[in-house]
Homo-oligomer: A and B are copies of this chain.
Amino acid sequence: MSSIRRIEVEKTISREQLQMAARNHGMPLEALAYPITPLGLHYLLIHYDIPVVDAAAWRLVVDGEVERPLELSLDELRARPSVEIAATMECAGNGRVGLSPHVDSQPWLHEAVGTGAWRGVRLRELLDAAGVGVGAVEVLFTGLDRGLEDEVEQSYQRSLSLEDARRDEVLLAFELNGVPLAPQHGFPLRLLVPGWYGMTSVKWLAHVTVLAHPFEGFQMAKRYRLQQDEEDEGMPLTRMAPRALAVPPGIPDFHSRERFLEPGPIVLRGRAWSGFARIASVEVSVDGGETWRAAELEHDVDSEWAWSAWTVDWEAPLGRHELCFRARDEAGNEQPPEGEWNVGGYGNNAVQRIVVNVS
C-alpha cells in the first residue's frame, strides 16, 4: 500500500459559502449508478432565487437583429417539433474546493453533475423562424432570475456566438426526464447547450435577443473565465473538461464519509464525460496513482452528449488504499493529477481520489 495523499483543503468555509452549499444541491456520487439521473438528484446551481413563474402569463420573446420578432406561449412552443437529448451537465465550479488557496464561492467537491433527458425545440428553428439579420454575431439569453453581483442589480444573462447557437443539439427545453421542468430546473423553459458547463444553459428563459455586437455582461466578462489574477482578462469557460468519477465503493462512515469494505473481489464502477468528445479511456489506480490500468467502457446512454459507464474488477486486499480515477477523451484531453488554480476556481478536473478501508 502506498502512502496516502489526502487532498488537503483549507478548513475555513465561511458562512457565505455554507449558505450557498445549503441551497445548491450536489448529486450524491452513488447516483452515478443511474444512466439518467433521477429527478431530484441532478445538481443545482441557483445564482439568485428560483422564480415562481405563472406559465399562463409567461411568453418567450425572440427579438433584436431579426426580421420577424416572435412572442410565443408555452403551448405554442410545445406544439412545435421537439427532440429529446440526454446530456450530462456539470457546473464550471465543480472541484473548486480542491484548489489552493481556497476560492470563496460555491464550495463544490465533486458532486456538481447530472445527466438529464431534456426535451425541447431546437433553438436554430426558432432563429430561422424569426429570420436572423445579416449583422448578427451573438445570441443573448436572459432569465427571469434577478440578483446583485458586485452591488449591481441584474438579470442572469449569458450569450453564445451565432455559430454555437445554431448548432444542432442546442435546445430550448421544457421537459426533463419526461415531465415538465421543475421550478429549480428553469420552469417553464431553459436553454440547453449540451457539452458546455452549466452556466451557459440559462434557466427561466424569457428573452432571446439576437445581437450585432458581443455581449459584455457580468456573467460573460467578470465570471466564468480562467483568470490568473483579477487583472487578467482570461479565457472564457466553454466545454466541460473530461472527468471520471466513481460510485464510492463499500459503505460510508456517517461522519467522515470514509469508505469501508470487505476484502475480496469487487467491481469498481462509475461514469466519465467530456464536452469536447466521446470518452476514449478511463484508468484506475488502486495504489494512489503509482500504477494504472484500463477500465471497461460502455456508452450505455444513447447520446453523444451523455456520460459513459466504466467498470474495473478489483481483488481488494486488507488495508487502507487510495483509489484514483482518470479519463481521457477522443480529442486527447486528459485529467491532470492536480488542478490549476484560477481566480474563480473553475474547471478543476483533477483526478478523483477515494480512500477505502478494507477490513
- Residues of chain A at the chain B interface (Cβ within 8 Å): 9, 11-23, 25-26, 28-31, 33-34, 38-42, 44, 46-50, 52, 97, 104-105, 107-109, 111, 146-149, 151, 153, 182-185, 248, 251-257, 260
Kindly list chain B residues whose C-beta atoms are within 8 Å of the C-beta of A38. Answer: 182-184
Q: Is the CB of A19 within 8 A of B109?
A: yes
| Cβ B26 vs Cβ A26 within 8 A | no
A208 to chain B, nearest CB (A): 23
| Bound-state Cα–Cα, A101 to B40, Å | 33
Given A13-B17, A13-B18, output 16 extra A-B contacts at Cβ < 8 Å: A9-B15, A11-B15, A13-B13, A16-B256, A16-B257, A19-B257, A23-B111, A28-B46, A30-B49, A33-B52, A34-B183, A38-B183, A40-B44, A41-B50, A47-B254, A49-B248
Decide yes or no: A153 and B260 within 8 Å by CB, A28-B49, A254-B48 being known contacts. Answer: yes
Assess the B252–A147 pair: CB atoms within 8 A: yes
CB distance from A94 to the nearest CB of B (A): 11
- How far does the Cβ of A213 sit from chain B's closest Cβ, in whole Å? 26
Residue of B nearest to A23 (CB): B28
Q: Which residues of B contact A255 (CB under 8 A)?
A: 16, 104-105, 149
Q: Once the chains bind, are A22 and B21 in contact (CB under 8 Å)?
A: yes
In the assembled complex, how far is the CB of residue A87 from the closest CB belonging to chain B, in whole angstroms? Answer: 18
Q: State the CA gap A146–B260 with chains docked (Å).
A: 11
A97 proximity list for chain B (CB < 8 A): 18
CA separation between A256 and B46, bound complex, in Å? Answer: 14
Q: Chain B contacts of A260 at CB under 8 A?
A: 148, 153
Q: A23-B28, A182-B39, A257-B16 are in contact. Are A153 and B109 (CB under 8 A)?
A: no
Contact status B253-A18, CB under 8 Å: no
Chain B residues contacting A52 (CB-CB under 8 Å) are 30, 33-34
Q: Is the CB of B9 within 8 A of A11?
A: no
A41 to B50 alpha-carbon distance, docked (Å): 11
Q: Are A148 and B254 in contact (CB under 8 A)?
A: yes
> Complex: how many Å from CA A153 to CA B255?
13
Report the Cα distance A42→B99, complex, angstroms: 31
* Residues of chain B contacted by A15 (CB below 8 angstroms): 9, 11
Inter-subunit contact A41/B254 (CB<8 Å): no
State how many angstroms separate the Cβ of A359 from the closest Cβ of chain B: 10
A31 and B39 CA atoms in complex are apart in Å by 17
A13 and chain B: residue at smallest CB distance: B13
Contacts of A107 in B (CB 8 A): 18, 22
Q: Could you say which residues of chain B place their CB within 8 Å of the CB of A30?
A: 49-50, 52
Give every chain B residue within 8 A of A109 (Cβ-Cβ).
Answer: 18-19, 22
A44 to B27, CA, bound (A): 12
Distance between Cα atoms of A33 and B51 in the complex (Å): 10
CA distance A39 to B40 in the complex (A): 6
Give the nearest-CB partner of A223 in chain B: B254
